[in-house]
Structure 1
Amino acid sequence: MLRSDFLPRILLSLALAMTLVSVPKVTVQSQSDDAAQKALQLLQTLTPEQRVGQLFLVTFKGSTALADSNIHQLITKYRVGGVVLQAKNNNFIGPVDTILQATELIQSLQTSVWDASANGAESGSAAEVESPYIPLFVGISQEGDNTPNDQVLSGLSPLPNLMAIGATWDTRYAEDVGKVMGRELSAMGFNLYLGPSLDVLDVLQTGSGEDLGTRTFGSDPFWVARMGEAYIRGLHQGSSNQLAVVAKHFPGRGGSDRPSNEEVATVRKSLEQLKQIELAPFFSVTGAAQSVDEVADGLLVSHIRYQGFQGNIRATTRPVSFDQAALEQILSLPDFARWRTSGGIIVSDDLGSPAVRKFYGSAGQSFDARQVVRTAFLAGNDLLYMDEILSTGDEDSFTTVKRVLEFFAQKYREDTAFAQKVDASVLRLLTMKYKMYGEFSLDAVLPLPDDVEQVGTANEIGFEIAQNAATLISPDASELISTLGSPPDQRDRIVFFTDVQGSRQCSTCTEEFVLGKESLMNAVLRLYGPAASGQVQPYNLESYSFSELAGLLDGVTEELPADMETTIRDAQWLVFSMLNSRVDHGGSRALQRILSERPDLLQGKRIVAFAFNAPYFLDATDISKLTAYYGLYSKTPAFVDVAARLLMQEMTPVGSLPVSVPSVGYDLIQVTMPDPKQVIPLLIDLQSPASNMGTPVSPPGDVNPTFSVGDVLPLVTGEIVDHNGHMVPDGTVVRFLFTLGGEGGTAQQIETVTTNGVARATYPIQSQGLLEIRVVSDPATVSQILRLDIRSNQAAAVTAIVPTPVITEAFVPTITPSVVAQATETLLETPKPKPSMDDWLLSMAEIWLAGLLVYWIGNRLLSVKWGSRWGLLAVIGGIISYLGLSVETQQSLSQWQQFDDPIAPFVLLMVGVFAGWIGGLVWWQMEERKSAEEK
């Protein structure tokens, strides 16, 4: 038959050709070509059931995969392509032997698939149909910071969350954490990582809403992109490229106001707005990536709707994960199109989540998982993630998954277009697996036994990040010493309050507390107690939970520790350890409550708060009542130790907020603008003119290049920094200003933008004269100055001048913006100089002489009193006229420039003198009338 032979071969050849196309800026190795060829050959041997099975990523309950289990049937009989392990499904045991058990479970899953392929087990015809071995995707979402966003809660190295990394503003830490995460997960047998989150937290939900919080790197698209690139690079390198990285939550839900698993959020943004903020980090890890290691293997598409997506504010998309038109429009953008052509995969978010059920099962409609999953696949998802999906009427999720698989196999046989789409997606997935392993064998897939022994040993990285992430939120550093005073000593009583939120590795496991009631107190005792420096004594320290504090505020004292209120009143220090204040449990808002409800308990005490989660839950009034407020972002033990050192003032916080905090007036957009206090370095660019990357360099040794008329002058700035001392984001506007001929000459400017903190420009030297060059990047207006005295008979050397870094208003030429997106230059007139000291002396002499003349006239005509009054008013009028001419405004500049005759300023000053004299005459007439009326 034509359909069963010729058409699939044509389809697969086209798919292979698409897979082999390279991505600009990313070198595709021959290994990728080989993987695509092997994938094509394998695909041609698979049955429809084997093909559709590869499209699915499923979950299961339990910590084993025995032969009679549901998951064993799905991976061996139905050939499901991957599984995701989760703590909520009891896939792990704990807190002891968690790593060993998880490693054995993954080995059991992969071995079961291997054994099934070797034995020829296959649906419908167990021994007759060849069943080649295809490794499973074994995925996990492990975001750092332990509960609630980690699945493995013990045994792995304690790593911080993304916001803690973002607060360091150092991509090295993102890469280091990625390496540790990639190495340890790969050593356990995981080969699919659902993360990191590349969401830009541009809308903070400080009230009742819910945002991603510390699950993001921050609120600036550029820095989220840089951190994401480094994190993904670390994951790939740490796992030796045997971990497929699926960045989430595409196309970005940093502006959503509720968890995606509970309800489909709607965000009012157009595609153009998404390209500027939400999509920017995803561009940087797909088609715009600078190296292969920084390329995400896949993107996880979130269930999110957009209002005004195509410009019509009244039009709302379906969840983009189910909207073929919207998803195709996004993926057709150049960077994503190149990435897709090179083999990038699209992974759906959980298709069985309550949010999806609520969206498709609203208004009393039944939930048909087959149609929902089919819609997601046709929308453009290659790998379909189903976590406990359940159709209306089915007895369990296992039944629903089987029916979805059978439905897809049937559609494959009946619908040619559907079959072509399946083949294209399966080819991508098989290619990715071949890229990881080279050959499909059990030895290649299973990690070496020695690898797992190194899991959980990387403890130093957490403390290093904690040191560099810790942030002083309030007050300013200059006020801290005077506000906080000396650190606690042996005589001070300290009461610690902690927002305790427990977790369990499994439903039958014992409860664990990463941040326990006594965690911070114990850290203080360990570092500064009798066994250490002896600065504090155990009998002066006490700890309570936020729940206990809430009970005290509620007046429920029966179950509270004895004398709790008395202990609080007797303390000199109250220390609060905060987590997410929006988490629904008793006591999460205890700090806010005691600040507003019981000021009597706080009077005369030093109150210190540590935010071990997002830093924006307190309002301005709450913060004003605190002595000091620090951001730690993460609650792992290393961050608790750093909090103890900050409390004892042994450590200075050096981190900076990666998100805006309106309650302290911290606006990240303003903070990431160029610092006006800096002197921008300006250098001759000795690198290749074609190079747009790298660090600017000064002339080596005593080499001083010279330039003549006709030469092109290459220029580069040094690193331009923001208010926190970090390099400004890419795209920051920089203007190179050129003045030729000194005062009264002509000025030009070239406008460009930064890349990696520096800006470059070239200037063609076309005429002789004194050339002065400087650079501005608003609001930073002071830079080094380069001068060249260009003459006809000799080349000119460059002289560099470093001005004093004083904030001044600098003249910046105004140009009409060009519609062409490239560096432009405009000829401008240099404004004539302002009044000098000589001008001032001359003007004052003229004004006072005129005032004396008016005094003499008043004295002769009336009296000394009226002569003095008229003279002073005349002087005042003249001074006001002078100030009006000399104030640095556009109007005054134009006034000065209108008069080339030196008599003109004198006339204007005399107008002011005359106006003051007229005022004196009016005053005299009013006094005369008043005297006449009284008589």
Structure 2
Amino acid sequence: MGSNRSRRLVAVLISAAAVVTIGGGSSAGAQPPEVRHSEVDPAVTEKVRAMSLEEKVGQLFVTYAYGRDADTPHPQNREEFGVDTPAQVVQRYHPGGLIHFSWTDSLYEPRQIAELSNGVQRAATSSGAGIPLLISTDQEQGQVSRLPEPVTQLPGNMALGAGRSAADTGLSARITGEEMRAMGLNQDFAPSGDVNVNPANPVIGVRSFSSDPQLAARLTGAAVHGYQDPGAAGVSAAAKHFPGHGDTNQDSHTDLPVIEHTREQWERLDAPPFREAIEAGTDAVMSAHIVVPNLDSSGEPSTLSPTVLTGMLRDELGYKGVITTDSLQMDGVRAKHPDAEIPVLALRAGADQLLMPQNLQVAINGVLDAVHTGALTEDRIDASVERILEMKRKRGVLDAPFVDTGRVDRVVGSREHAQQAQRITDRTTTLLRNDAGQLPMRQKPGKMLVTGAGEDATGALADRVRARGPQATSLPTGKAPTQQQISQAVQAAKGNDVTVVLINAAWDADNAAQQELVRALQRANVPVVAAAVRDPYDAAYAEQVPTWLATYSDKPVAMESLAKVLFGEIAPQGKLPVPVPDPEGAGADRFPLGHGLSW
């Protein structure tokens, strides 16, 4: 399916590189050369030449639109875009891509998502240059999971790092990509190739595979292969966040983090996953809104740095695919420049795909004005459009942008995928301490309390305990329990044979009351099992508890694996993919990288 104009692009073959000089006239100063594909299929050259400047500039942008179907008005579209429906957003601005979130009212259930995808693709192929859209989200799995059940849920990158299996990582990504493609999504802003060497990192954490750059690299490459697996139709992967967001205690959504890695540290710690992703053929690499002074002295975030994007990513690492920015609404990239200038600086730095500008019309006008004044050349715009169209061609988007909505229910959340996801997750649960020999519970207790962070997580684990025979009560106390909630949990624990307490980011000062919850339960002299359901670092903060596990995820699939370990149905197989530092001893580890007990 698709228009004739779209079909003419199918045969695009882009390979060797040539150089196109970027125009001057920006506060960014002199610009490095732009890598340009030289062997372009004549159909692509013809298409780009036939497009208006406005259509080409539109292809550079990925925006969102509000609503669960393409043709129903949503008031937020009128407020932000001056039109009423997602289809009208596409028809007015001719964006190259559309990104979905729950907050855009776009993600309810699989068939609805598929119908929305078809609707916006009809709008794209029947207007402007007639080029189908990249439709995306960032379905990393685990902590960052945009797509709701029955979409198959997996435990995320750090859990996969604990499993150590490239095969499991590739299969996890393949399942995700196959289900996304069935719903009409063809680009996933994943995987995170960041090496999480800072336990206080507020934005990466369990989104990283490991603090070990070689393990992170191996699994990043496996994930890229899985997402882009042609046997599953495949979605475009985007390895992120270049040059590496793993060593910061600031969040680039709200700050402009500064990472002090030297060049040698970057080569050793941060670069390996991106080298592996490029070797694996990743369709895109996403930039980070961070400053790394030892790599670039300009003070600009990497997203706006020619030294980083062109000098390092293109010239040194030899990357020829699409460079996409992280969201241009994040404070990390908006700290120094007005919104009209940011996309221009990103293009001058070497970016191709401009994600989620604060104001789409202002951003488009900024790029158009830059071309008209000579700050950007139209040839520079063409180079990025060619790369974006090639990415669409490789994934079959140009030739077949529509999906069969009757197939969605057979693919998304299938029994086969659910079974595969459970087997993968079963290999990731990590036993950190079993000092009292409490696990496995060969003799099932009569009554169990499940308390701690997360109503969904405590409820899911309690359900799975009940399914195995014991009575189970769920008593969620949240990430910041009050003293009254702690007292209630202690009283409830005294009426049960065993208490399992789920801990989520208790290392963070805002959530430190969870540490007191664990200690209070232990002081009550009741059998307690503690499980870190996000960051494993929590296990160092309540050493009074002799039994600690890490699941790296609070998803139901992880709670099923936890229940299996508790009752001895499976042995814990996970090994820590990061060290757990001792908060009382500078430089010392409470649990080292690779630690994990079994029986």
Q: Same fold (TM over 0.5)?
A: yes
Secondary structure of the residue aligned to 1:305 is: coil
Q: How does 1:291-440 map to 2 (within 5 A)?
A: 294-309=280-295, 317-334=299-316, 336-337=317-318, 339-340=319-320, 344-357=321-334, 359-360=335-336, 368-387=338-357, 389=358, 400-415=359-374, 417-437=376-396, 440=398
Secondary structure of the residue aligned to 1:280 is: helix
User: What amino acid sits opposite 1:544 in the alignment?
Assistant: L
Q: 2:156 aligns with which of 124, 146, 161?
A: 161
Partner of residue 29, structure 1: none
Partner of residue 476, structure 2: 545
Q: How does 1:659-670 map to 2 (within 5 A)?
A: 659-663=578-582, 665-668=590-593
- CA distance in 2 between counterparts of 1:133 and 1:89 reads 25
Mapped contact 1:592–1:618 kept (Cα < 8 A): no
- CA distance in 1 between counterparts of 2:221 and 2:523 reads 50
- CA distance in 1 between counterparts of 2:371 and 2:131 reads 20
Indicate yes or no: 2:527 matched with 1:606.
yes
Unmatched runs of 5 consecutive residues or more in structure 2: 1-13, 20-36, 73-82, 583-588
Instruction: Report the count of equivalent residues.
Output: 549
User: What amino acid sits opposite 2:131 in the alignment?
Assistant: I
- CA distance in 1 between counterparts of 2:453 and 2:95 reads 42
Query: CA offsets, 1:537-564, max 9 Å, x none?
Result: x2xx43311249934x34898xx6xxx6
Q: Evaluate the alpha carbon distance shift between residue 497 and residue 589 of structure 1 in structure 2; reply closer, same or farther with a 3 A threshold.
A: farther
Partner of residue 187, structure 1: 182
Question: Shift in Å at residue 260 of structure 1?
Answer: 1.9
- CA distance in 1 between counterparts of 2:294 and 2:39 reads 44
% same residue = 22
Q: Evaluate the alpha carbon distance shift between residue 423 and residue 576 of structure 1 in structure 2; reply closer, same or farther with a 3 A threshold.
A: same
Partner of residue 515, structure 2: 592
User: What amino acid sits opposite 1:18 in the alignment?
Assistant: A
Question: Shift in Å at residue 176 of structure 1?
Answer: 0.8
Question: Shift in Å at residue 378 of structure 1?
Answer: 1.1
User: What amino acid sits opposite 2:93 in the alignment?
Assistant: Y
Indicate yes or no: 2:576 matched with 1:657.
yes
Partner of residue 523, structure 1: 464
Q: TM-score, normalised by structure 2?
A: 0.84
Mapped contact 1:139–1:191 kept (Cα < 8 A): yes
Secondary structure of the residue aligned to 1:210 is: coil
Secondary structure of the residue aligned to 1:77 is: helix
Q: 2:134 aligns with which of 115, 134, 137?
A: 137
Which structure ranks higher in relative contact order (CA pairs < 8 Å, sequence separation ≥ 6)? 2
Q: TM-score, normalised by structure 1?
A: 0.55
Q: 2:552 aligns with which of 617, 623, 633?
A: 633
Partner of residue 99, structure 1: 110
Which deviates further from its counterpart, 416-425 or 606-615? 416-425
Question: Shift in Å at residue 235 of structure 1?
Answer: 1.2
- CA distance in 1 between counterparts of 2:93 and 2:269 reads 41
Query: CA offsets, 1:352-379, max 9 Å, x none?
Result: 223333x12xxxxxx6311122112211
Question: Shift in Å at residue 464 of structure 1?
Answer: 0.8
Indicate yes or no: 2:450 matched with 1:473.
no
- CA distance in 1 between counterparts of 2:274 and 2:307 reads 19
- CA distance in 2 between counterparts of 1:416 and 1:632 reads 51
Mapped contact 2:452–2:514 kept (Cα < 8 A): no
Partner of residue 199, structure 2: 204
Question: Shift in Å at residue 329 of structure 1?
Answer: 2.6
Question: Shift in Å at residue 407 of structure 1?
Answer: 3.5
Question: Shift in Å at residue 418 of structure 1?
Answer: 2.2
Q: Evaluate the alpha carbon distance shift between residue 333 and residue 415 of structure 1 in structure 2; reply closer, same or farther with a 3 A threshold.
A: closer
Indicate yes or no: 2:98 matched with 1:83.
yes
Q: 2:65 aligns with which of 37, 44, 60?
A: 60
Partner of residue 859, structure 1: none
User: What amino acid sits opposite 1:90 in the alignment?
Assistant: D
Partner of residue 31, structure 2: none
User: What amino acid sits opposite 1:567 in the alignment?
Assistant: A
Mapped contact 2:581–2:591 kept (Cα < 8 A): yes
User: What amino acid sits opposite 1:104 in the alignment?
Assistant: E
Question: Shift in Å at residue 111 of structure 1?
Answer: 0.3
Mapped contact 2:65–2:104 kept (Cα < 8 A): yes
- CA distance in 1 between counterparts of 2:422 and 2:367 reads 50
Mapped contact 1:611–1:631 kept (Cα < 8 A): yes
Unmatched runs of 5 consecutive residues or more in structure 1: 1-14, 21-31, 117-130, 361-366, 390-399, 502-512, 530-535, 673-722, 726-935
- CA distance in 2 between counterparts of 1:466 and 1:423 reads 44
Secondary structure of the residue aligned to 2:559 is: helix
Question: Shift in Å at residue 253 of structure 1?
Answer: 0.4
Which deviates further from its counterpart, 641-650 or 249-258? 641-650
Indicate yes or no: 2:196 matched with 1:273.
no
Secondary structure of the residue aligned to 1:282 is: helix
Secondary structure of the residue aligned to 1:616 is: helix
User: What amino acid sits opposite 2:427 in the alignment?
Assistant: N
Mapped contact 2:565–2:572 kept (Cα < 8 A): yes
Q: Evaluate the alpha carbon distance shift between residue 631 and residue 71 of structure 1 in structure 2; reply closer, same or farther with a 3 A threshold.
A: same
Secondary structure of the residue aligned to 2:67 is: coil
- CA distance in 1 between counterparts of 2:113 and 2:64 reads 14
Question: Shift in Å at residue 71 of structure 1?
Answer: 4.1
Secondary structure of the residue aligned to 2:190 is: strand
Secondary structure of the residue aligned to 1:276 is: helix
Question: Shift in Å at residue 648 of structure 1?
Answer: 2.2
Q: Evaluate the alpha carbon distance shift between residue 156 and residue 542 of structure 1 in structure 2; reply closer, same or farther with a 3 A threshold.
A: closer
Mapped contact 2:256–2:331 kept (Cα < 8 A): no
Q: Evaluate the alpha carbon distance shift between residue 666 and residue 618 of structure 1 in structure 2; reply closer, same or farther with a 3 A threshold.
A: closer
Secondary structure of the residue aligned to 1:248 is: strand
Q: Evaluate the alpha carbon distance shift between residue 565 and residue 216 of structure 1 in structure 2; reply closer, same or farther with a 3 A threshold.
A: closer
- CA distance in 2 between counterparts of 1:114 and 1:461 reads 36
Question: Shift in Å at residue 19 of structure 1?
Answer: 7.4
User: What amino acid sits opposite 2:92 in the alignment?
Assistant: K
- CA distance in 1 between counterparts of 2:345 and 2:480 reads 50
Q: How does 1:754-833 map to 2 (within 5 A)?
A: none
Q: Evaluate the alpha carbon distance shift between residue 239 and residue 368 of structure 1 in structure 2; reply closer, same or farther with a 3 A threshold.
A: farther
Partner of residue 109, structure 1: 120
Question: Shift in Å at residue 271 of structure 1?
Answer: 2.5
User: What amino acid sits opposite 1:550 in the alignment?
Assistant: P
RMSD value, Cα: 3.0
Partner of residue 3, structure 2: none
Mapped contact 1:187–1:447 kept (Cα < 8 A): yes
Mapped contact 2:422–2:557 kept (Cα < 8 A): yes
Question: Shift in Å at residue 566 of structure 1?
Answer: 4.0
- CA distance in 1 between counterparts of 2:521 and 2:533 reads 24
Q: Evaluate the alpha carbon distance shift between residue 446 and residue 548 of structure 1 in structure 2; reply closer, same or farther with a 3 A threshold.
A: closer
Indicate yes or no: 2:427 matched with 1:445.
no
Question: Shift in Å at residue 197 of structure 1?
Answer: 0.4
- CA distance in 2 between counterparts of 1:44 and 1:641 reads 55
Partner of residue 247, structure 2: 255
Query: CA offsets, 1:195-223, max 9 Å, x none?
Result: 11011111211xxx524121111111111
Question: Shift in Å at residue 60 of structure 1?
Answer: 2.1
Partner of residue 578, structure 1: 503
Partner of residue 540, structure 2: 619
Secondary structure of the residue aligned to 1:285 is: helix
Question: Shift in Å at residue 613 of structure 1?
Answer: 1.2
Secondary structure of the residue aligned to 1:231 is: helix
- CA distance in 1 between counterparts of 2:44 and 2:123 reads 22
Question: Shift in Å at residue 76 of structure 1?
Answer: 1.7
User: What amino acid sits opposite 1:317 in the alignment?
Assistant: G
- CA distance in 2 between counterparts of 1:487 and 1:608 reads 15
Mapped contact 2:432–2:549 kept (Cα < 8 A): yes
Question: Shift in Å at residue 632 of structure 1?
Answer: 1.4
Q: Evaluate the alpha carbon distance shift between residue 584 and residue 354 of structure 1 in structure 2; reply closer, same or farther with a 3 A threshold.
A: farther
Indicate yes or no: 2:451 matched with 1:497.
yes
Secondary structure of the residue aligned to 2:571 is: coil
- CA distance in 1 between counterparts of 2:404 and 2:87 reads 23
Indicate yes or no: 2:493 matched with 1:568.
yes
- CA distance in 2 between counterparts of 1:149 and 1:237 reads 21
Question: Shift in Å at residue 58 of structure 1?
Answer: 0.9
Mapped contact 2:67–2:86 kept (Cα < 8 A): no
